[in-house]
Amino acid sequence: MITASLTGKRSLLSLAIGCTVLGLAALAPLPAHAEDAPQFLSQSDANTLWTLIAAILVMFMQAGFAFVEAGLTRAKNAGNIIMKNFLDFAAGAPLFFLFGFGLMFGKSVSGFIGGSDFALASFDGASPEGQWAMTFLFFQTVFAATAATIVSGAIAERTKFGSYIIMSMVVTGLIYPVTGHWAWGNLFGNEGGWLAAMGFSDFAGSTVVHSVGGWIALAGAIVVGPRLGKYSADGKARSIQGHSLPLAALGVFILWFGWFGFNPGSTTVANGTIGYIAVNTCLAGCTGMLGAMITIWLKYGKPDVSMSMNGALAGLVAITAGCFEVSPVGSLIIGFGAGVLVVLSVLFIDQVLKIDDPVGAISVHGVCGAYGTLMVGLFASPGYGTITGLLYGGGAGQLVTQAIGVGAAFAWAFGTGFVLFSVLKMVMGVRVPAEEELKGLDVTEHGSEAYSGFQIFSNE
């Protein structure tokens, strides 16, 4: 019995050794031939790959916006929020392809608007030029969708879905591309707009994307008016709590994650700068949250969760303009300042101006986007980017140029946004009836509930 057992063990050991040898032999390198040499990406292929990956990350930010807005509003409107965020991309992308891209990046007409490359009609996917054009189009499309989505949260819980569709399409197809042409029209190889000619710097869109969306949101919130029950008879602001802080927190994390495509991806080049851009982006988001948390803690004695999360977003928005131009130390300062500013702005807009913005979109994107753009004129650091700010001996010229760009974007975005919402109000109405607002937009606008089986209606 002992002999048989040993014999069996030796057989198993021999089998194991044999399998190991065969496995190692299979892994051994074969004789090299010239045709077997590894193929490395060219620089142009690497640029295309990096830009495409970044665009996919930014597209995922739509989910982040949806979760933040849904979580910070009431359960009876969660489905409506989700639909609007889907709609921004689904309707906006075809429109930007057909019209918006040409208006933004086509050959400039007097530095104001593009007039060519509509639907990329002169490009085909077989040529290297056409392949890059398609990649660049996709990257810019997801940015356009972001600008439209910002408006959604500020007018949440009381806006007609049909009116919102038209608003979103006009923003994506016209309002956003025009401002984009002024600052970024030269990025596709054509002559740029008048702001770019002045030397205006907004690397990834604190003003071009975020402030434009924020100022349109401001116009919409004014025209649509506050939610029922938001302000008492004597004008005192009442807090209307959102239904899910965990959902909103997940949205903030997704947005933060996507921002590493938003900012580093704006290089559209796979080179070493994407590393320090990512560091600047990360640090500003961190100090933005810290700044907001400390400010609200000092003011009310509690470190409010939603305000702290908005601080992170404020820091990310603020660094978006200067992520290529400032040092990591500069990003720490800019982010912290944005965190403080967003708290003060939310309270001022809500309690003094009496403008109802359920998610703080106007403050996060409009106000902090403008702030971050101005900070480029102060903190642009030698050794990073291409310009030098006032604090590093670069003079006040860049700061003045930044201020002109911020003012021009506000005038265009708020002005056209106010006209757009006012026309929609006269023609088809922008606000649902009071009864529908109380019941919730999920049921009245879409005929379904985000949380079926739960009693979520309220009288406020």
Gyration radius from the chain CA atoms:
26
Break the chain into its structural domains and give their ranges. Answer: 43-446
Give the pLDDT of residue 452. 83
As a whole-number percent, the residues of the chain with pLDDT over 70 amount to 90
Give the pLDDT of residue 113. 96
Tokens 């009116």 correspond to 163
Alpha-carbon distance 279 to 323, whole Å?
A: 9
Alpha-carbon distance 262 to 51, whole Å?
A: 10
Give just the sign of the alpha carbon dihedral 345, 350, 355, 359: positive
Q: Print burial letters for 409-431: b (CB count within 10 Å at least 16), e (below 16).
A: bbebbbebbbebbeebbeeeebb
Give the pLDDT of residue 16. 46
Q: Do residues 319 and 385 touch, judged by C-beta distance below 8 A?
A: no
Question: In degrees, to the nearest 5, what angle opens at C-alpha 426 toward C-alphas 420 and 429?
Answer: 90
Taking the chain, what is the end-to-end CA distance rounded to the nearest angstrom?
85
* Lowest model confidence (mean pLDDT) among 1-10, 68-77, 137-146: 1-10
Please give the average per-residue pLDDT across 108-118, as a whole number. Answer: 95
Alpha-carbon distance 172 to 59, whole Å?
A: 15
Q: What is the CATH number of domain 43-446?
A: 1.10.3430.10
- The band of 456, judged by pLDDT with boundaries at 50, 70 and 90, is low
Give the pLDDT of residue 453. 73
Between residues 22 and 121, the one the model is more confident about: 121
pTM, entire model? 0.90
